[in-house]
Structure 1
Amino acid sequence: MNYILHMKTSKYCICAKGFEVNSPRVVEAIFYECVPVIISDNFVPPFFDVLNWDAFAVIVAEKDIPKLKEILLSIPYEKYIAMQLAVKKVQRHFLWHPKPVKYDLFHMTLHSIWNSRVFMLKPK
């Protein structure tokens, strides 16, 4: 079984932090409609100001890695289904098109830049 097939057929996809600030694992999980399990302390998800990450991702502190199986098994099936449906809904925000499409990655990035500029704190 190859990587893509594993992602597409998994309920949850582990997105552990790597050596860099961000990792493509989160976007890959969303692309393949897999509920991301983000294992990282102080993770600031993309578009956090617009998207409710708790609705479609499981965020686990690094200290809780030994309890990961227990955490995932404690999620009721109905909540998992709701999270997977939410992944499908937010997927469009992470897709890039040759010509921008409403609410795609291009627009989300522009909104994020605009939002950070509007709400930027000015030094005293």
Structure 2
Amino acid sequence: VKRGILPLLKRATLVQTFGQRNHVCLNEGSITIPPYAPPEKMQSHLIPPDTPRSIFVYFRGLFYDVNNDPEGGYYARGARASIWENFKNNPLFDISTDHPTTYYEDMQRSVFCLCPLGWAPWSPRLVEAVIFGCIPVIIADDIVLPFADAIPWEQIGVFVAEKDVPYLDTVLTSIPVEVILRKQRLLANPSMKQAMLFPQPAQSGDAFHQILNGLARKLPHEGRIFLKPGEKILNWTAGPIGDLKPW
């Protein structure tokens, strides 16, 4: 694959959802964007914000991919299988392969939403968790998160190493209540949610706006704007703080 990439593309800034470290298609300086999730559909499933979050851990999706990985040794590097085998009977974990019509509502009733890798490190589940204020539990060792320079993932999410999946219950129950509440307050910020969505037409502060911000930081500007003497390329983190972190 590497030999077949055109020189032009090797110098290009790639804008893509495939956020995986050390992947040949993800060059340094690429812009990782969130996968698409339908804004109108999610909007239609909103429930009152004061609805109690009575589900501690929530997940709906595959644990095994029997069609593509019948022996179960490759899919999600075993992380999803480990979730099922360790927590299928744990009352704190509402996990299943079923995908109910109340899926979006259930996420809004949950404290933590598991976001494990599958065949790729990411899925729309990550966007859905942020939109519905469910703390994303990110289980993907080599993931590159979207707009990582702008969205404070460490502050809104929980990162669990793939090897530590058997201890998920201990990890999550040991998080202090005040930390959970702080993450929920950040997730409740409308600007945080807007940055993950691609509404049509585009709106200020949305994911398309974040892409433009990222591209702008890579282009030369007159010195009086952002560039320092001697610089020819913008620092990725340069520019008004309000552009990077509206929250």
The Cα of 1:87 is off from its aligned counterpart by 1.3
Stretch moving more, 72-81 or 16-25: 16-25
Give the one of 192, 197, 221 matched to 1:95.
Answer: 197
The Cα of 1:119 is off from its aligned counterpart by 5.4
Distance 1:116 1:55 in 2: 26
Aligned match of 1:6: 106
- Aligned to 2:188, what secondary structure does the other structure show? helix
The Cα of 1:108 is off from its aligned counterpart by 1.1
Give the one of 131, 146, 149 matched to 1:49.
Answer: 149
Aligned match of 2:119: 19
Instruction: Give the count of matched residue pairs.
Output: 120
Contact 2:121 2:140 in 1 (8 A): no
Distance 1:41 1:113 in 2: 27
User: Percentage identity across aligned positions?
Assistant: 35
- Aligned to 1:6, what secondary structure does the other structure show? helix
Give the one of 134, 137, 148 matched to 1:34.
Answer: 134
Distance 1:92 1:111 in 2: 14
- Please identify which structure carries the higher helix content: 1
Give the one of 195, 214, 220 matched to 1:112.
Answer: 214
TM-score calculated relative to the size of structure 2? 0.45
User: Can you give the 5+ residue segments of structure 2 that lack an aligned partner in the other structure?
Assistant: 1-99, 220-233, 237-247
TM-score calculated relative to the size of structure 1? 0.85
The Cα of 1:56 is off from its aligned counterpart by 0.4
Distance 1:51 1:116 in 2: 18
The Cα of 1:51 is off from its aligned counterpart by 1.7
- Aligned to 1:37, what secondary structure does the other structure show? strand
**Per-residue deviation, residues 35-72 of structure 1 (Å, max 9, x unmatched):** 10001102111001122111100011101101111111
Distance 1:34 1:116 in 2: 33
Larger Rg: 2
Amino acid in structure 1 at the alignment position of 2:193: Q
Distance 2:217 2:122 in 1: 20
Aligned match of 2:177: 77
The Cα of 1:32 is off from its aligned counterpart by 1.3
User: Can you give the 5+ residue segments of structure 1 that lack an aligned partner in the other structure?
Assistant: none
Q: Give RMSD over aligned pairs.
A: 1.9
